[in-house]
Amino acid sequence: MNVENEILQLRKELEEHNYNYYVMDNPTISDFEYDAMIQRLIKLEEENPQFADENSPTKRVGGVALDEFEQVTHEVQMQSLGDVFSYDELMEFDQRVQQGLDGETPEYVVEMKIDGLSVSLEYQNGNFFRGSTRGDGNVGENITENLKTIKSIPLKLNCDTETLEVRGEVYMPRKSFEQVNAEKAAAGEALFANPRNAAAGSLRQLDSKVTAKRKLDVFVFNIQSISDDRVKTHTEGLDWLAGLGFKVSPMREVCANMDEAYLQILKIGEMRPQLPFDIDGAVVKVNSLEKREILGSTSKVPKWAIAYKFPAEQQETTVEDIIVQVGRTGVITPNAVLTPVKIAGSTVSRATLHNEDFIIAKDLKIGDRVLVQKAGDIIPEVVSVLKDKRNGSEKAYKMPTHCPACGEQLFREEGEAALRCVSTNCPAQRTRSVIHFASRDAMDIEGLGDAVVEQLIDEGLIKTSADLFYLTKEQLVPLERFAEKSAQNLIDAIEKAKQNPLDRLLCALGIRLIGSRSAKAIAAHFKNIDNLMNATAEEVSQINDVGEKMAESIVHYFAKGETKELIEKMKSAGVNMIAEERTVGGSLEGKTFVLTGTLPTLKRSDAQKIIEDNGGKVSGSVSKKTDFVVAGEEAGSKLDKAQSLGVAVITEEELLNMI
């Protein structure tokens, strides 16, 4: 066999093995044999570049890192779905569909609503040539190289269709999610909140080699466009796609009417805890493509489909103990230690109890059986106490009178729910203060996660956040988790943080009641740290967005001797103490914006900076004074309020065009 034929044969066999393993879940060779074939193909392609192919199985390991993602304008709008939460709302949707079809009851298809990231996959003459994110539905990002690393996406199709665009949902299986988070924990990095968050973060990596390691998967659930009219119904289209090698929506069921569809939705809901991937509901679609054309769409959602959203998954477990945690501002937060239970794709063993009043209101005792859920499928919380299951062995809980970290007496201010440690020498506060200082919304020191901060404190290398700026590579290299490169990377990240503007530093200092928005206003007003440190509470309270309590908190913080020592130490290390110059009279001067949802290309913090750099103001809530709401994917109640108040709603692209 000549070289070209061997290369072609290896590519064909490897794609067949990918299909058997990742689509059919039926591997036909061992991992060792597969790896040997891949290595042989890599070697042959390197030695014979004239036979290169952009869709070779070797491209699935990732390639050259990008500087940024290119924008892609979708030929067919990638619309979102309207949501319903009850049987009655589902029936109202059915009535609207029947009215649109002159009283006819259509066939419905019910599928699982996979909780992931929606993508477009485009093929020309059977070759995968482009993949992109949904973005705002009209414009997304080109993530072709990252999508090629997902082995259940076919790179070549055996069909004669000239052009084909399909839509799918990229997700991270629960098993992969646990593995990725275990690796991040071992490296001292921040954990992903849930599998959807992990999938989104992995798919938007500029280095596709990182994406390749995350073991993402995909379900294809719709034909967006096709250059012929070979399919007449949705299920016919999915069956055809499955025959081409796509991994299509699991458990799709054709129903004669909406009552049948509702029974299928309930069935899917019962299966939810046992699935190897996360779902957040079920999708009901009209099966006939012709009827879909008749029903049409609004500017945002199709009139022929609806998402039935499941309530937050709840599980019953036992409160084994109640422990308290000391926050960076000294707040004592009680947490329930639970018998581990699986909820929404991850194991939950802790849940916040907020404060003493929460425990009293719930009449919660150690040993109680409780219902636990994840708020927004992210934060574990105790929903209710199952008092009818008490057996008399439960024990009442009392909040501590002294700090568990430093032993000092705790205080509760009048009118506040929080119990607080006010000791300036509390070690727990020091640790959490440094963690907050390095966090993304503060000084954004990459690589300085919780575990690394704790390690540096335990080793005696730092006591305060100011000590970070005096660390050396030589001190880090001998430590666990560090090598030459990782130590240098952290030193570089700390050096970079010195250049942050004053507002980031003010936010990072962890002053009580002061967040990023108020820090920006304060920095813009006082210009430098010295002016602020010499200001009175009355002077500080004159700033918009800064109230009397916030002003008092600032003055109290800077009056402390340890604060002055901290600032002087940072100054000596070269940390910037001057506010960023803001553009006066920019194109957004006098305009107030609210950001909601996931924007296609910008982080919220980046969008806020752009608005403020051009003279605009960003608010956290929608009111009649709001000029524009910038809405991204999965925009929530802020979008609804904007529409009810008649506030202009714009996309990220429209925002950028305004500048």
Phi, psi of 189 (to 5 degrees): -100, 160
Place of tokens 């719709």: 222
Nearest CA among 358, 401, 308, 329 for reference residue 92: 308
Which ranges constitute the DSSP H helices of 498-578? 502-508, 516-526, 529-533, 537-540, 548-559, 561-573
Reply yes or no on whether 113 is catalytic.
Answer: yes
Nearest CA among 548, 544, 553 for reference residue 521: 544
d(CA 233, CA 256): 14
Whether the CB-CB separation of 633 and 80 falls below 8 Å is answered with yes
Nearest CA among 426, 491, 409 for reference residue 463: 426
d(CA 357, CA 258): 45
Whether the CB-CB separation of 317 and 372 falls below 8 Å is answered with yes
Amino acid at 410: L
Q: How far is CA 58 from the centre of its chain?
A: 29
CA angle 26, 32, 36 (to 5 degrees): 110
Q: What is the dihedral of CA 299, 300, 304, 306, to 10 degrees?
A: -160
Helix and strand totals (H; E) in the chain: 24, 24
Q: How far is CA 99 from the centre of its chain?
A: 39
Angle of helix 548-559 relative to helix 561-573, nearest 10 degrees, comes to 70
Strands, E, within 237-330: which ranges?
253-255, 279-286, 305-309, 314-326
Q: How far is CA 18 from the centre of its chain?
A: 29
How distant, in Å, are the alpha carbons of 202, 212, 571 from that of 205? 6, 10, 35
Nearest CA among 656, 594, 599 for reference residue 628: 594
Tokens at 568, concatenated: 């002087």
Give me the count of residues in the chain. 659
Q: How many CA atoms lie within 13 A of 256 on its CB side?
A: 0
Nearest CA among 396, 426, 397 for reference residue 331: 426
3-state secondary structure 320-367: EEEEEEECCCCEEEEEEEEEEEEECCEEEEEEECCCHHHHHHHCCEEC
Place of tokens 């947490």: 335
Residue of 12, 43, 59, 113 marked catalytic: 113
Per residue in 24-43, is it b (16+ CB within 10 Å) or e — as a string? Answer: eeeeeeeeeebeebbeebee
CB atoms within 10 A of CB 14: 21
Residues 6+ apart with CB under 8 A from 484: 473, 477
CB atoms within 10 A of CB 337: 15
d(CA 106, CA 96): 12
Q: Which helix (H) or strand (E) holds 219?
A: strand 217-226
Give the residue numbers annotated as catalytic, written as ranges: 113
